[in-house]
Amino acid sequence: MKAVPSPQAEPVADSRAWRVLGSSTFAFTICFAVWMMFAILGIPLKKQLHLTDTEFGLIAAMPVLTGSLARVPLGIWTDRVGGRIVFFFTMLATIVPIWLVSYATQFWQFLVLGLFVGFAGASFSVGTPYVARWFPKSRQGLAMGIFGAGNSGAALNKFVAPVLIVAAGTWTIVPKVYAVAMLATALLFWLLSASNPAHRVPGTATVASQMRVLADPRVLRYAQYYSVVFGGYVGLSLWMPQYYVNQYGFGIEQAAFLAACFSLPGGVLRALGGWLSDRYGAYRTTWAVMWVALACFFLLSYPPTDFTIHGAHGPIGLHIGTGPLFYTVLMFVVGIAMAVGKASVFKFIGDEYTDNIGAVSGVVGLAGGLAGFVLPILFGLLVDLTGVRTTCFMLMFGATVVSLLFMHFSFRPEALAHGGAKLARKAQAATPAFKETTYSE
């Protein structure tokens, strides 16, 4: 009898696939670093422009807005004309706005330029379908996870931007360096990447037919999960440097370095999430991620508190709070969980929407990006209203609870149906054996 090869061993058909994956991942890393630029620039700008916490959240999150809204059309164009050309021109479109940031002096100017810089973040919905189609289905989770590791650009920004600011003595050097880096990255990507016309959707497919799949409730389900694991990652990446500065009194270099302890694993380990999703399934992986994040957010939510206990021998003082070391460890764990979760959500999409990955990933990415835009603003608003800085984690705790409840009730009917079918198969398999035994007697 001829052995059936394991799907895990399915080879990559095109030898160019790994070159495409490598060049795309590097390009996305630079794009993500640019997208997160105001996480660091916002700290000196807050002092220079006398911004409130809400205004800081707005200026930091503005690039995330356009980077989110552009994901759906760019994902559709990727399906229709190919990822290489769309990725290349998306990067080129951001170079001038990035450079002009260094000449901005007023709050509204940063907001407007931030909108144009935000197109760098939309490259995610281009690279995901572009990369996935070069690999067999059994390896798409790993491939998309490796590409998604470009989220580590958030950590790269936290390492590079503070060094540039300190070395030059001004924040204006950062946009200029990033603009040059984006131009070099775009040219390098074009030289190393490749195109395959077979990866485009059929010419007869209309935009309406591509968008029709978005009425599928599963797409909304995955968008909701992604708004927590990716939106939360973006929101916290933008918020954490100034959180370290204001909560613990660290300088900008120390704050950026410690914040990178969340951003780096949250990006790099996305490939691990892809591998785990391929091996254990998207549902089990995402479920575990949500529970780990929930436990960490619960501990992070508790604000520094002093108690006085009236004991038998006098008052007893008790302090409860998350110190910088414990806080950093917890955020490191959250970063790992979110990295795995970002990959597992897209494993759902790769498995169920093979012919429409661009449109679906665009909508799911849009939901995650919009959450990343809204969260820093809400973080700042909560601090301005309550004066409690840990309210950002209270909000994330609530969002994660909603995700777990939504996931439980969404998959429960499928699990019951699957369990019933499994019992029916067992009963069917047992019935002939029983009859045969009875007959032989």
pLDDT digits (tens, 9 = 90+) for 206-242: 556 555 666 777 788 888 888 899 899 888 988 988 8
Rounded Cα–Cα distance for residues 78 and 81 (Å): 6
- Are 232 and 371 in contact by the 8 Å Cβ rule? The answer is yes
* pLDDT top residue among 315 and 100: 100
Average pLDDT over residues 80-106: 93
Least confident segment among 7-21, 47-61, 156-170, 244-258: 7-21
pLDDT confidence of residue 213? 64
Distance between first and last Cα of the chain = 35
Q: Is the pLDDT of residue 320 over 80?
A: no
Average pLDDT over residues 307-326: 80
Average pLDDT over residues 244-257: 87
> Count of residues for the chain?
441
Residue 335, classed as helix, strand or coil, is helix
Average pLDDT over residues 285-294: 92
- Are 35 and 68 in contact by the 8 Å Cβ rule? The answer is no
Average pLDDT over residues 43-52: 90
Domain locations along the chain: 16-198+219-434
* pLDDT top residue among 385 and 271: 385
Contacts of 266 (CB under 8 A, 6+ apart): 151, 152, 154, 155, 233, 237, 334, 335, 336, 338, 339
* pLDDT top residue among 197 and 156: 156
Residue 131, amino acid: V
pLDDT confidence of residue 189? 95
pLDDT confidence of residue 77? 85
Q: Report the C-alpha dihedral over residues 270, 298, 396, 262, rounded to 10 degrees.
A: -40
| Tokens found for residue 172 | 């204006």
* pLDDT top residue among 93 and 368: 93
Q: Which CATH superfamily is domain 16-198+219-434 in?
A: MFS general substrate transporter like domains (1.20.1250.20)
Average pLDDT over residues 266-295: 85
- Are 370 and 311 in contact by the 8 Å Cβ rule? The answer is no
pLDDT confidence of residue 214? 64
- How deeply is 9 buried, as exposed, middle or buried, from its count of CB atoms within 10 A (0-12, 13-18, 19+)? exposed
